[in-house]
Structure 1
Amino acid sequence: MRISSNQYQSVVLLAMQNSSAGMAELLQKMSSGKSMLAPSENPIASVRLLRLQREEASLSQYRDNIGALKSKLSQNESLLDGIVSDLNNTRDILVAAANQPAPEDLKAMAAPLASLRDSLLFAANTKDSEGRYLFSGSAVNNASIQVDASQPVGNRYSFNGNTDRQQVTVGEGVTQPSNVTLESMPALLNQLDKAIATLQSPALNGNDPAVGATVRATMDSVDSALSKVSGSISELGGAQNVLQTLDGNHNSLSLANQQSMLELGSLDYGTAFMNMNQLSMALQASQKAYGKVSQLTLFDAI
């Protein structure tokens, strides 16, 4: 079979172009560290990589949500701890008042009780850094407790939020409440307001049964509030433990996904160097053969 010079040149040039293209592709893979430059090179591995990348993005979002949620729950817990401290101080004063001290001492207890009442109100109406009320449920733009000074003593405080829980997604199908509410606090503040008004009365008589009844009723309200707030603190602590465990699970799964992604999408540099050497040798051989053959003429055969 005879082959013309043009045909031979086309075949050899095509072989050299293929070798050069293969080398360029390998160099691109080696520079990027990826085993595939296009999904068509390995469709099955590409689909698996896409699934792993989507799952990794979800895990990253879940972990971000957990981090923000843990910070918010910790803030709520600190505020509730402060409320518990104020409630304990309030109870100590009320216990002293229930022991029927001298009238002057009994009247003097009204001032610290008023300060503690205001401190409890301030804590219940705390805002976060974005100006949203922490203990108002989903009504974050409303103060948790509203004060109407025009109302009589015992009816000035009312709950201005709602009891909705703000749910945060922290896993596949897993949500965690990010807030607690203080809907029971107005009842305590109203009862405390009555006790303060009683102790501030000019006609205060420590032996009056009505005074003792007011003090004991206020103590009962404080005990009830302590129980509810302490329960909320326990709930927050348990939630943070769950989040810590869940975050650890997400981290382990993320590490496994990253390992799988490396195995599927990373380039084997050893194999790549061997292939590069083979392509380089093939290109050099084609170039040498082309150079030798192109110098031949029919006169060489005579």
Structure 2
Amino acid sequence: MRVTDSQFNAVMQRSLMDNNIRLNKVFEQMSTGLKLNHLSDDPIAAVRLEGLKKTVSDNQQYQRNIENVQSQLTRYETNVNTLEELSQQVNELLLQGKNGTLDAQSRAGIVLELKSLKTEMLTTLNQANEGSYLFSGTNITNQAISTTPPYTLNSNLDYRETKVGNDQYVPSNLTVTDVIGTNAIFTDLDNAIAELEVPTAGFSPALDSALDTNQALHQNLLVSLTDIGSQYNALDRLKETSIDMVFFAETVRSELEELDYAQASVELNQGMIALEATQKTFARVAGISLFDLI
């Protein structure tokens, strides 16, 4: 088959253009430090890269969410610890109040302390953070419990859930019911206080009832503290898993995206040699004339 001058020129020009494209690609890669600068560079790798970037972004958000939930749990732990300490003090005062030999002044002192402790417990249950009541479920604009009889529980039993993983959510709050069970302690405290203010012969069952209710409250508070600790530790494990996912995705992303400068230098040199050889060949062949052969 006879190759015409125009065909030869087209082939050589195509070869020169291909070499220039390859060199320009290497120049761009070395300039940006990236192997993939355009979707056309490697469509499959580019799609994988987008998936890896989403994995990194999602897991970094999960880590922030986990830290926010842990911060909330720490706040709940502080308040539940306060309630647990107050409950212990209430228990000691009720036991002292059962002493039938107490004089009126001693009973009056116990009454004052019990009233103060009851107020502090109610205040703790109605703690708010940036205008949101902590123990009110999702009904965060209302106090968790009314501060006067019959001490109505105003919160709902719903939880504010936070996403901490793929299709994985955890509650970020405790309700007043989680912590104290019922409002009976405050009613029973009022009855015990009334008994101490005006004692009956041999004392009524009010003090015993308040002691029993307070002990149940104390046990409930200890369970709540255990649950908070367990949730915090579980979130720590989730966070470690998320950190590992980010590390893995970043490692694979780096392998796909970041340029190996040593390899790029080799490709650049090879491309320059190929381009120079093509140019010399084209110049030599294009310069041949029949007159040169006569």
State the percentage of identical aligned residues: 26
> In the alignment, which residue of structure 2 is the partner of 1:169?
163
Alpha-carbon distance change, 124 to 2 in structure 1, aligned in 2, over 3 angstroms: closer
- Any idea what SS the aligned residue of 2:245 has? helix
Whole-Å separation in 1 of the counterparts to 2:55 and 2:11: 48
Tell me the amino acid that sits aligned with residue 174 of structure 1: Q
Alignment of 1:215-226 (within 5 A): 215-226=207-218
Distance 2:85 2:91 in 1: 10
Residue type of the alignment partner of 1:188: I
Q: For this pair of structures, how many residues does the alignment match?
A: 289
Q: CA deviation at 1:171?
A: 2.2
Shift of 1:92: 1.1
Distance 1:44 1:194 in 2: 75
Q: Which moved more, 1:288-297 or 1:50-59?
A: 288-297
- Asked whether the equivalents of residues 103 and 205 of structure 1 are also in contact (C-alpha less than 8 Å), the reply is no
**Aligned counterparts of 1:197 and 1:99: Cα–Cα separation in 2:** 16
Report what 2:17 is aligned to: 17
Distance 1:205 1:192 in 2: 14
Provide, for residues 211-266 of structure 1, a one-character-per-residue CA deviation record: whole Å limited to 9, x for no partner.
xx222211112111111111111111111111111211222232222222222333
Aligned-residue Cα RMSD (Å) equals 2.5
Q: 2:256 corresponds to which letter in structure 1? A: L
Q: Confirm or deny: 8 A CA contact 2:122 2:147 kept in the other structure.
A: no
- Aligned residue runs from structure 1 range 57-76, under 5 A: 57-76=57-76
**Structure 2: 5+ residue stretches without partners:** none
Listed as ranges, the gaps of 5+ residues in structure 1 are: 149-154
In structure 2, what is the equivalent of residue 86 of structure 1?
A: 86
> Could you tell me which of 209, 234, 239 is aligned with 2:226?
234
Q: TM-score by structure 1 length?
A: 0.84
Q: Which segment is superposed worse, 253-262 or 226-235?
A: 253-262
Q: Is the 8 A contact 1:113 1:196 kept in 2?
A: yes
2:235 paired with 1:243 = yes
Residues 133, 141 of structure 2: 8 Å contact kept: yes
The answer for the alignment partner of 2:151 in structure 1 is: 157
Between the aligned partners of 1:97 and 1:226, the Cα distance in structure 2 is 19
**Whole-angstrom distance in 2 between the partners of 1:173 and 1:297:** 75
Matched-pair contact (CA < 8 Å) for 1:106–1:206: no
With the length of structure 2 as denominator, give the TM-score of the two structures.
0.86
State the match for 1:178 in structure 2.
172
Conservation of the 8 A alpha-carbon contact between 1:102 and 1:206: no
Q: Residue 190 of structure 2: which of 184, 190, 193 is its match?
A: 193
d(CA) in 1 for partners of 2:31 and 2:114? 72
SS of 1:158's equivalent? coil
Distance 1:10 1:298 in 2: 21
- By how many angstroms is 1:205 displaced? 3.3
Deviates more, 1:249-258 or 1:71-80: 249-258
